[in-house]
Amino acid sequence: MFTYRNISFTFLLVILVFALSGVLLDGGFQVSGYGFLVSGFWLLASVLTILILGSVFIRWNFYFFSHNHGDRSSPAISITFDDGPDAATTPKILDILEKHQIKATFFCVGNKIEKNPDVFKKIIDMGHAVGNHTYSHSPWFDLFSSTKMAREISMTDEIFFNLTGKKPKLFRPPYGVTNPMLGKALKKTGHQSVAWSLRSFDTVKKPEKVLRKVNHKLKNGDIVLFHDRIPETAGIVEQFILEAQKSGNKFVPLDELLKIQPYASVQ
Ligand SMILES: [Zn+2]
């Protein structure tokens, strides 16, 4: 399989072959010093490219496993919202979900839960599933050590627990970036990583474009990614729901789509 472990192993193996061929230069391998250097460069460049792409494309499951879709043969789909709770925009989304009787999933940021505890509690009270999306959502999160990452995740768990008595088991990596440090941190905290199969790009694209894309690409079992901090998202989501329901799709929260528990049992 195409994973971090296998690529590292293959890389080490190729290095070994290179070293051996160096030793055997006078033997069967007639490789010139220049050719040797060029091959080494390309090998290193290829491995680095794979490592970077594996980090950016969470759905490759390169460094660790992330759930990224449900059963493709069932019309059930999940909407997920990242980066809240936001005092102004999240309640609008909650209203739309209530109006259409839909349960969704919110990946919340610890320091925003601290700022907006009432909005956070409302999400839980309305029966939506909630997961952990770090404490700071720092742009440098991916450069943190695994200890620092685990600390951020645990801090959010603690705030979460103090307000709800629940401990989240689901985690969504900020920006969808994965690396070995995050894999180690999640092992330590015991969270399951959740990615998506359909990204709306509501943070960067115009509402009409976002809507056209999600409506056009939606498939059975999809996990759709939106952001509840974006003011336009509530309107987009309502149109999306109406269109998806017309096509026979059924909205379920992530735990139902993936048949997993969203919270750890706490003694
Ligand atoms: Zn985010």
Mark whether 222 is an active-site residue: no
Range of the domain at 48: 4-56
185 within some domain: yes
Contact between 180 and 4 (Cβ < 8 Å): yes
State how far the Cα of 22 lies from the Cα of 18, in Å rounded to an integer.
6
- Grade residue 26 by pLDDT with cuts at 50, 70 and 90: low
Find the 264 Cα to ligand 1 centroid distance in Å. 22
pLDDT of res. 30: 57
Number of domains the chain is built from: 2
Could you report the per-residue pLDDT of 34-66, keeping only the tens digit for each? 777 887 888 888 888 888 888 888 888 889 899
pLDDT of res. 219: 96
| Catalytic entry in 67, 69, 137, 227 | 227
Q: Can you say whether the dihedral through the CA atoms of 201, 112, 149, 140 is positive or negative?
A: positive
Residues 6+ apart with CB under 8 A from 200: 210, 213, 214, 224, 225, 226, 236
State how far the Cα of 28 lies from the Cα of 43, in Å rounded to an integer.
22
Contact between 156 and 108 (Cβ < 8 Å): yes
φ/ψ of residue 123, rounded to 5: -60, -50
Find the 23 Cα to ligand 1 centroid distance in Å. 50
Q: Which two tokens stand for residue 182?
A: 């995050």
What does the pLDDT average to over 70-88?
Answer: 97
What does the pLDDT average to over 198-212?
Answer: 94
| Whether residue 45 sits in one domain with residue 120 | no
Find the 182 Cα to ligand 1 centroid distance in Å. 15
Q: What is the mean pLDDT of the chain?
A: 91
Does the pLDDT value for residue 151 go beyond 70? yes
| Catalytic entry in 67, 69, 82, 133 | 82
Higher-pLDDT residue of 57, 150 = 150
DSSP 194-216: E--SEE--TTTS-HHHHHHHHHH
Q: What angle do CA 46, 12, 177 make, to 5 degrees?
A: 50
Higher-pLDDT residue of 96, 37 = 96
What do you get for the CA distance between the two ends of the chain, in Å? Answer: 39
Using a 10 angstrom Cβ sphere, with 0-12 exposed, 13-18 middle and 19 or more buried, the burial of residue 59 is middle
pLDDT of res. 1: 66
| Whether residue 102 sits in one domain with residue 133 | yes
Q: Look up the pTM and report it.
A: 0.88
Residues 6+ apart with CB under 8 A from 13: none
Q: How far is CA 137 from CA 104, 108, 113, 212, in A?
A: 21, 10, 12, 29
237 within some domain: yes
Mark whether 142 is an active-site residue: no
Does the pLDDT value for residue 91 go beyond 70? yes
Find the 121 Cα to ligand 1 centroid distance in Å. 20
| Whether residue 85 sits in one domain with residue 22 | no
Size of the chain, expressed as the number of residues it contains: 267
Report CA dihedral (182, 185, 191, 192) to the nearest 10 degrees.
Answer: 30
| Whether residue 51 sits in one domain with residue 169 | no
Q: Please report, for the domain that includes residue 141, its CATH number.
A: 3.20.20.370
Q: Are strands 263-264 and 167-168 parallel, antiparallel or unpaired?
A: antiparallel
| Whether residue 180 sits in one domain with residue 104 | yes
Does the pLDDT value for residue 10 go beyond 60? yes
Q: Can you say whether the dihedral through the CA atoms of 74, 253, 83, 173 is positive or negative?
A: negative
| Whether residue 223 sits in one domain with residue 102 | yes
Does the pLDDT value for residue 108 go beyond 70? yes
Find the 137 Cα to ligand 1 centroid distance in Å. 7
| Whether residue 45 sits in one domain with residue 81 | no
61 within some domain: no
